[in-house]
Structure formats: structure tokens, C-alpha cells
Structure 1
């Protein structure tokens, strides 16, 4: 009897039909709430600033920035969906089976679109550095718009197919009231793993390694060429800075992406029983934190974003003709 009194139920009125709340210390509960709330606030705010910047200033209407805009939009919605993770902190889902399934569909769709956009960004930078003479003809505004639309449409269709059984009968895989789970068979999970993780990660790594090699070789070539006609010392410094900048930027992009996403996919496809509740929560936070870091990696490294940020914070974008401001 004493054990029964200590157990907390999600829906006490349902007795045996209700899920039991996981046993967590007050410290763990507060810490999880603070971390998730902070990540949510940062993710939505930073990505909203990127969206406003690119959408408002006409000088930023370029193919590359359109990809950054798509990434910021997907990451912004990831931040909004994290409110549902805050709801799940106590281990209970109170919004019904249909909302549970729709949450997973939206979550997987937006995450897939975010990863897909990162692949498009890597392709864009590959063409820009490895084939700069044909970049303007290969990468046009219209082609990028089509690619972005296809990325989102394919993400939506793919995730609906993956979760079709859950959509037909929401809550069919819940073992008790207050649980929010979705299920797919082994083949579907394997295809999902390849399409949404292994494939994109492989493509991003290969393209960025190629970009890195070309960038370093171009820096060496420029140093050798200019050294013959100018002061050798200053050229060495410039070339060295170019090489270090290429290495640092590409390294951050690849390493942060893998650090944030690999633990989640490893746990998701090998079994949650390998971790306890606290470690599982950390993996989820790390996965979502990638959407918070994306605007820092892809936008804060650009000088134009710092200028846009200043104009947004000072509300100068509300002035007439502010969209024509010289940002670059």
C-alpha cells in the first residue's frame, strides 16, 4: 500500500489505465525545465532575427541567403515545437492522441527539412568555390526556390508515409493514457535512417572536405602568384589567414552538426534502454540545440547579419525605405 501511495499517475481518475509519472528529483525537473526553456527562447529569437533580416533587406535577396532563410524557418519551428517537450517534462501527455501524432509528424518533417536545407547549403558552397565561373548560371534564384520547395514537400510526404499507420489510428501504440509514442516497422526505420541521417551526413562531409581542399589549394596558388610581384611577407599573412578561416569555418560546420545529431540517432535506432532518463533528456536537448546553433554558424559569421541585428534592435527597420539600406 505504501508503494501505491508514492506512485503518481498522469490521470489519477483512470487508475490502472493511466501512465505512471517517472520518478525524478525536484532538481532534475527544474534543471530540465530551465534548459529546455532557455534553448526554446534562444532558438526562436535567433532564427527570427535571421528571418527578419533576409526577408526585409532587398540587398540580401540572393540564392545563398534564400537557403539560409529556409534553414532559419525550419529551425524557428523546431524552437516552437520544443514547447511540447516542455509539456512532456513530467512524463505525461495531456493533449490527446491526435495531437501526439501530429506533433511527431511536424517534428520529423521540420527536422528533415532542416537537414535537407543544410545539404543544399553545402552544395551551394561547393559550386561557389569549386566552380566559381559557372556559379551565377548554375545557382539561380529560381532554381534555389524550386529546390527549397521540393525539400519541404519531400520532407512532408516522406514523414507522412513513415507515420501513416499512426495517422490512421492515433494512439494505437500507446500502452496507457498519458503516453505519446509512434511506431514504425524495421524496414521503414532503416530507410528513414539512411534518408534523413546517413545520406545527408555523408554528402555534407564529402562536399565540405572537397571545398576545404580546393579553398586551401586556392590560397596556396594565390600566395605563390602574388609573391612574385608584391611583398612576400604580407601575402603570407593573408594566405595563412584565408587557410585558417576556411579550416575553422568548415570544421565548426561539420563537427557541431555531427556532435548534435549523432547521439540522438544512435539512441533512436539502437534502443532507449541504453540510457537512463537523465541521459536521454540530455541527448534530446543536444539534438534540438543544433537548431539554436545554426543561426550562429551560418549567419553570425557574416558581417551583414551584425549590421542587420543593429538595425532591428534599434527599430530602424520601421523607417520608410529601410529595406533599401546598404547592408553589404
Structure 2
């Protein structure tokens, strides 16, 4: 009888308490170590992106403000979601029903904000490549700031609406004390949070790819002194589209497996496969700044300035990074 009580999350609650999950010490240490390192890297790398774009005036462009929005969501995924998931793994939930519902809501807000930021990146490249003459007037810094604010507001409203039942009926969905679960309208989340955004991204980038290829061919066959400046500008836009295309591709690779499994009716909830796919989604937040470091010289120069504390010098915000 004593051994049975030791297996309960809340021994005093007897039959209403969940049983403590069983795990091997070596497995637990390995998982906690990996998740802790991933959380630290995600938080630190995205903080560098945030400081870089926010501090250096040269980086205050429409495209970079969208990257800033993406970095903010990724930063909080590393700061909040990773540690909480690490805490929840093979453990009893002891923080109460309200914090449980709040955790799921915040996680969805951040994932939704990341998804919408990817959509905005696709829109930005679509306008820049397909309608270059209108880019400066349509994608202004003011309009982008307003759009990003609206997107974050929508993400918050969407997430609270989706988990409204979890807040209005705290603890309704758990089967015992020590469990943290939330019920969500799967069909609505799949359509609004995955299918529609992914379709927009794929359609826009397919169009961007076709136009970029045709422009590259035209530049190779019609390069003259008179058009040299225009050619350089087009090459820059095409390179930016390629770099951001890699960002979008990695996003699709990380997010699609989980949603496709759910969409296909696979029963993965509560399984080890769900855990792996969920952390693959979160790992995207760590990969994004690594992609910046690989493809963007300005990010590498900005990191050097931050690490060497040059940003503390007067006038550092006006340093030229590109």
C-alpha cells in the first residue's frame, strides 16, 4: 500500500490523483540535457537577432521588421515553451489548472505568430519580385509595423478563443489531479492555423520562384552598362528571395510532419511520436537564427559588435553592417 502511494502525484488525494510517470534516470538526464541546451540556444540566438535589428538603424527595413517579429516569437518559444515542456515531460503537473490553460494558450500564440510571420515574409518577397515598382509604396515600414501588430493581436485572440472552454471550465478535461491537458477544436486549428497559411506560403513562393528564374535568365542575356544598376538591384532581390526561401522551406519541413499526421487522422496524441514532432516544430525556432548567420553577413557583423560590446559606444547604432 505504501509503494502504491509513492506512485501517486498527490498521495493525499488517493483515487483522484494521477500516477507518477515512470522513466529511467539515464533517459531523463539525456532528455533534460538536450532540451535545456536547445532552450538556451534558441533564447540566446534569437535575442541576438532582436538586438541586432532593433539597435542598428541600417537594419530598419520592412523585411527585417518581419524577421524581428519572427525572432520575438522564437525567443519566447525558447524562453517559455521549451522550459515548460521540459518540466512537463514525465512529471506530474503541480502548477494548477489556470497555469495549464495559460501555457497552452501562450504556446499557440507564439506558434501562430511564427506562422503568420512566415506568411508575411512570403508576401514581402512576392511584392518585391513580382511588383518591384510598387514595393516601396506598398511595403512601407509604417504599414509593416501596423500589419505585424494586427497579426500578433489576431494570434492572441485566436488562441484565447480556441482555448476558451479550458478557461471557463478549469480542470474539466483532465482525468485526474497532476495532469495538464487542453481540448482544442482540431478542425478549426488545422484549417486556420495550418492549411490556409501553408497554402498562401506555397502559392506565393511558387510565383516568386517562377518570376525570379525568368528574371535571372533575362539578366544573363541582356546585361548592358545602361542596365547595370537595375541588374544589381534585381540580383539583390533575387538573392534575398532565395535566402528567405530557405527560411520558409525549413519552416515547412519542421511544421508539416505534425499537422499532416493530425490531418490524416493518425492517432498520435499522447504518443512518443507526437512528442518528437512537437519538438521538431519548436526546433525551428532555434534553426532560424542559424540560417541568418549562414546567409546574412550583416547578422554575423552585428553579432561581433554585440559580443565585443561595440554597441555600447556612442553612435554605434549608425554603424554600417552591409
**3-state DSSP class of the match of 2:21?**
coil
Structure 2 matches for 1:88-127, cutoff 5 A? 88-127=88-127
Corresponding residue for residue 233 of structure 1: none
Asked if the contact 1:205/1:254 (under 8 Å) is kept, the reply is: no
Q: Shift of the alpha carbon at 1:19? A: 1.1
**3-state DSSP class of the match of 1:151?**
helix
Structure 2 matches for 1:1-328, cutoff 5 A? 5=4, 8-81=7-80, 82-184=82-184, 188-226=185-223, 249=243, 252-268=246-262, 273-274=267-268, 277-298=271-292, 300-328=294-322
Deviations 1:189-213 (A, max 9, x none): 2122111111111111111111111
C-alpha separation between the residues in 1 aligned to 2:263 and 2:8?
29
C-alpha separation between the residues in 2 aligned to 1:39 and 1:268?
25
TM-score (norm 2): 0.89
Q: 1:268 to 1:22 in 2, by over 3 A?
A: farther
Deviations 1:133-172 (A, max 9, x none): 1110111011101100110011111111111111112211
Deviations 1:112-135 (A, max 9, x none): 011101100110011111111111
**3-state DSSP class of the match of 1:90?**
coil
**3-state DSSP class of the match of 1:167?**
helix
Asked if the contact 2:262/2:268 (under 8 Å) is kept, the reply is: no
The Cα RMSD (Å) is 2.7
Q: 1:137 to 1:251 in 2, by over 3 A?
A: closer
**3-state DSSP class of the match of 1:288?**
helix
Asked if the contact 1:126/1:210 (under 8 Å) is kept, the reply is: yes
* More displaced stretch, 274-283 vs 195-204: 274-283
- Could you list the runs of 5+ residues in structure 1 that have no partner in the other structure? 230-237
Asked if the contact 1:48/1:76 (under 8 Å) is kept, the reply is: yes
Q: Shift of the alpha carbon at 1:90? A: 2.1
Q: Shift of the alpha carbon at 1:278? A: 3.4
Q: Shift of the alpha carbon at 1:296? A: 2.5
Q: 1:158 to 1:246 in 2, by over 3 A?
A: closer
Asked if the contact 1:9/1:15 (under 8 Å) is kept, the reply is: yes
Q: 1:147 to 1:309 in 2, by over 3 A?
A: same
**3-state DSSP class of the match of 2:295?**
coil
C-alpha separation between the residues in 1 aligned to 2:6 and 2:109?
36
- Could you list the runs of 5+ residues in structure 2 that have no partner in the other structure? 226-231
Asked if the contact 2:254/2:283 (under 8 Å) is kept, the reply is: yes
**3-state DSSP class of the match of 2:122?**
helix
TM-score (norm 1): 0.87
Q: Shift of the alpha carbon at 1:311? A: 0.2
Pairs aligned (count) = 314
Deviations 1:219-260 (A, max 9, x none): 11011112x88xxxxxxxx9xx99x96896466334322221
